[in-house]
Structure 1
């Protein structure tokens, strides 16, 4: 319970105790206003791992037609680690690629999205960096679409909150990242049924997105969204020992800030 002199005067209860967060960098943002409710090393450039895919998908939804047929290139089909197992020459709807990137964290899907939208992944990453800066990011520079290790590829907790706030305004993006499971309807290969990597969707009833990320350099990362009583918060934790627990504690802190 929050105790405050404001409460005795009939005003709102203010909770000031900071949440216990293990992440090296973190941000909690009010999605409506952009107000920062909590921060730790918020502007420190760090490897973002697969949270990069938020920016890739934002541009994919903005500039692509979800019904477009994409022919998978040799480069996209051979992109490894987390993937949806695309193969060169396969024909896939852009909407399925975006779902595969956000829900299953498909590295291969991100390359295919970039090549379809911009002609090459290299050119698309210039758009990613520019998009981040245009909407208020300060630290990001992207050298790939999926967050695979690159010594000059980085973002920050604050920048990731900013791009997520922008992305969640798009109904298609928001609907995709809150899905626990999804079906890739218009592809030739497998898998067709995929499960979201964001465990917070099962463990926290107010969670409605967004994206996990993990590499050795980045550690365990999570950009998460939750909505309670018509108030949406965005939490970012980078290099965390307990990314789901950190995010839950940030959300509860934020929702209790003003009651």
Structure 2
């Protein structure tokens, strides 16, 4: 048995050595992988650190809790400060901006819609739509922005032909805007599996919204009447006031909108725009402990110091080529763009990089040892079966003790 295991061990060592040589010795003629294209918006629109380009003496953006953000000049599209702009995160109700961009050009604001139980019973924030109640498209868009009404979003999607069709159109629009980090699953922005966006994509949605006067009118409205429960014919239907939930709009001087959001998993998210002295700031936040307050801090930095900052990226136009911006050297930039593909290539499981090769060798070694243990177990089992087939046998004879000579030199009798 020991000999079998020893022979198997030699074989295992030979296999491991061969596999190690195959994995670690790269062919001399192997072609280098093609470099990855720059991220949308420019080569610095990557990494997880704050990226900004400032002359000496100009303060950096304030430290905030957001996992990702973008500060941009809405007029020029220049990105002046950013953190993890393409990090995929849950968008919460900021995704309703994409819903509005998709549906507002298609639906007549005077069209009347009759709400269903599915609209009224949807989870999350609601404006107060009731089954059988009638609402105009204009009223539902007001509810979408003021109260972040999920019932209004569901009703608008239903009027558009259904949730599935609306979501497909939302994703198509996001793609045309070059918001490639976004994948919509619902028109409300709830925490659905797979529903993600990025701070950069939210900035693209915000800039598109700023170019749509009807959407900006909804986004900047502070209050509006909304129909209440249905009543018998001949009686006047009651109304109540919808008040904006957007504290950035209510509290920041020059605020224009656009949309805030919050869920348990997404935390605070926001698309915010404001105008002062002929300049318009566009701020997006994702994964923040505080939403509108942090947007205020970044907006203040833009209006005080943004004119001295050099762009580190751009908000691309729909369908425009990507990566065309030549940004100035940032004061704190991530690793050079060429290093990013190499770092990604060394992630375990990709099949390349020294760590992946070592893991592959360990896998071969584990498989070889497992095979040897199975072989030894199989041989022991065969031996027990052969002994059982021979039937019972008597106890083994004990050998007689060897005779020892007496001390006197005489043989023992």
- Do the structures match in fold with TM over 0.5? yes
User: Is 2:144 aligned against 1:101?
Assistant: yes
Aligned 8 A contact 1:60 1:98 in 2: no
Change (3 A) 1:218 1:190: farther
**8 Å CA contact 1:233, 1:254 repeated in 2:** yes
1:149 to 182, 186, 191: 191
What is aligned with 2:76? 33
Counterpart in the other structure of 1:235: 283
Does residue 126 of structure 2 align to residue 77 of structure 1?
Answer: no
Question: Contact 2:129 / 2:228 at 8 angstroms: preserved in 1?
Answer: no
Q: Aligned partners of 2:224 and 2:65: how far apart in 1? A: 31
Equivalent position SS for 1:148: coil
Q: Give 1:218's aligned residue.
A: 266
Aligned-residue offset at 1:186: 9.5
In structure 2, the CA distance between the partners of 1:191 and 1:20, relative to structure 1 (3 Å rule), is farther
2:100 to 40, 46, 57: 57
Deviation digits for residues 79-134 of structure 1, max 9, x if unmatched?
Answer: 122001212221110010011011110001001101112x1111101111111110
Q: Which runs of 5 or more residues in structure 1 are unaligned?
A: 6-13
What TM-score do you get using the length of structure 2 for normalisation? 0.57
* TM-score calculated relative to the size of structure 1: 0.89
Mapped partners of 1:218, 1:179: distance in 2: 25
Q: Deviations over 1:16-41 (max 9, x none)?
A: 52322210111112111221111111
Separation (CA, whole Å) in 1 of partners of 2:166 and 2:72: 27
Q: Check if 1:23 corresponds to 2:58.
A: no
Contact 2:262–2:269 (Cα < 8 Å) also in 1: yes
Q: Cα gap change, 1:229/1:85 in structure 2, threshold over 3 Å: closer, same or farther? A: same
Query: Structure 1 residue 187: deviation in Å?
Result: 8.3
SS in 1 for 2:90: coil
- In 2, the alpha carbon distance for the partners of 1:108 and 1:87 equals 9
Measured in 1, the distance between the counterparts of 2:120 and 2:224 equals 21
Q: C-alpha offsets along residues 158-179 of structure 1, whole Å, 9 cap, x if unaligned?
A: 1011011101211111111112
Distance 1:143 1:200 in 2: 27
For the pair 1:86 / 2:129, whether they are aligned, the reply is yes
Matching residue of 2:157: 114
2:223 maps to: 181
Unaligned runs of 5+ in 2: 1-53, 231-236, 309-413
What CA distance in whole angstroms lies between the structure 2 residues aligned with 1:190 and 1:226? Answer: 35
Aligned partners of 2:227 and 2:239 also within 8 Å: no
Q: Secondary structure at the match of 1:258?
A: helix
Residue 242 of structure 1: how far off its partner (Å): 2.1
Contact 2:94 2:189 in 1 (8 A): yes
Instruction: Give the direction of change, closer, same or farther, for the CA distance of 1:244–1:190 in structure 2 (3 Å limit).
Output: farther
The partner residue of 1:158 within 193, 197, 200 is 200
